[in-house]
Amino acid sequence: SKHKYVLIESHDKVGLITLNRPKALNALSTDLFHELNDVLEKFDNDPNVGAIVITGSERAFAAGADIKEMVDKTFAQVYKKNFLGDWGKINGIKKPIIAAVNGFALGGGCELAMSCDIIYAGENAKFGQPEIKLGVIPGAGGTQRLTRAIGKSKAMEIILSGRNFTAQEAEKWGLVSKVLPVDKVLEEAIKLGQEIASFSQPSIQAAKESVNQAYELSLNEGNHFERRLFYGLFSLRDKKEGMEAFLEKRDAKWTNE
Ligand code: HXC
């Protein structure tokens, strides 16, 4: 593989990306992020892929942005070079992305997990935004996504104290959808991905797009956006096929058109 920091596999229609920088606990360097973006784009454009899973190791999903890379950078450098600009690309990926998190998901690692559409966590997972301990603040959406996910008081407490929180807390607060035994997280994430990938791709894409608008639009506008997409799906062969299959009591044969 031409990639140094990520491993790539396919599991039926699920594209699996494993962050692979074990000595640095998968610290998210610019080089790692370039590779991650490259693979995300490849999977997004691959008609045989219906969902994507991102995982790390049992010890660490990712322990944050690479502190060694940041320590000597100046304001002028990060500003002029749009440092961390690469981190926005994941937000434009059309296919569902599931984070399978074991171990540390700290700082940028927590933010990467929150940039995914669904998070499954292992019992030992530790989330947190410890940037305050480094004299900075979260820089890849942590103050925004964590607050939307778990509310102001808890988000403030976590971001201002730099304290970690557990998988069980994350589930209770609605940040992750499932806590699983460590050795089951990836397997269950892939299974979920396969379930998602078994449906018609345009409807899955529309569903993801519409849910994401819930964070951007008023309720009225969001409902309107949803209705437009819903109507639009009636132009697809797969809408007719899905409904006919139901009425004929058989499985649908999707064409993704
Ligand atoms: C660079 C890192 C790193 C990181 C760990 N390492 N996290 N290197 N950047 N974020 C390296 C360590 O330097 C060490 O390298 C090796 O990984 C193993 O880490 P240890 O600290 O020895 O392991 P352990 O004692 O088990 O502690 C694990 C840990 C701790 C609690 C996760 O490593 C830790 O606190 N890491 C930093 C977490 C953090 O502050 N993250 C936020 C980063 S800022 P050597 O060479 O010594 O063996 C951030 C900003 C986001 O993410 C802004 C937007 C992206």
- For the chain, list the domains and their CATH numbers: 6-197 (3.90.226.10), 201-247 (1.10.12.10)
- Nearest-angstrom CA–CA distance, 124 and 101: 9
CA atoms of 17 and 41, how far apart (whole Å): 12
The band of 168, judged by pLDDT with boundaries at 50, 70 and 90, is very high
Q: What is the pLDDT of residue 238?
A: 98
* Residue 187 known to be catalytic: no
Three-state DSSP state, 12? coil
**Residue 108 is among the residues annotated as catalytic for this protein:** yes
Question: Is the CB of 7 within 6 Å of ligand 1?
Answer: no
For residue 2, what pLDDT is reported?
A: 85
pLDDT at 200: 98
Specify the residue with its C-alpha closest to ligand 1, atom 33.
Answer: 63
Average pLDDT, integer, range 144-148: 98
Q: Are 146 and 155 in contact (CB under 8 A)?
A: yes
pTM: predicted TM-score of the whole model, two decimal places: 0.98
What interface predicted TM-score (ipTM) does this complex get? Answer: 0.98
pLDDT at 136 over 70: yes
Q: Whose CA is nearest to atom 51 of ligand 1?
A: 108
How confident is the model over 26-39, as a mean pLDDT? 97
| pLDDT computed for residue 1 by the predictor | 66
For the stretch 37-69, pLDDT in tens is: 999 999 999 999 999 999 999 999 999 999 999
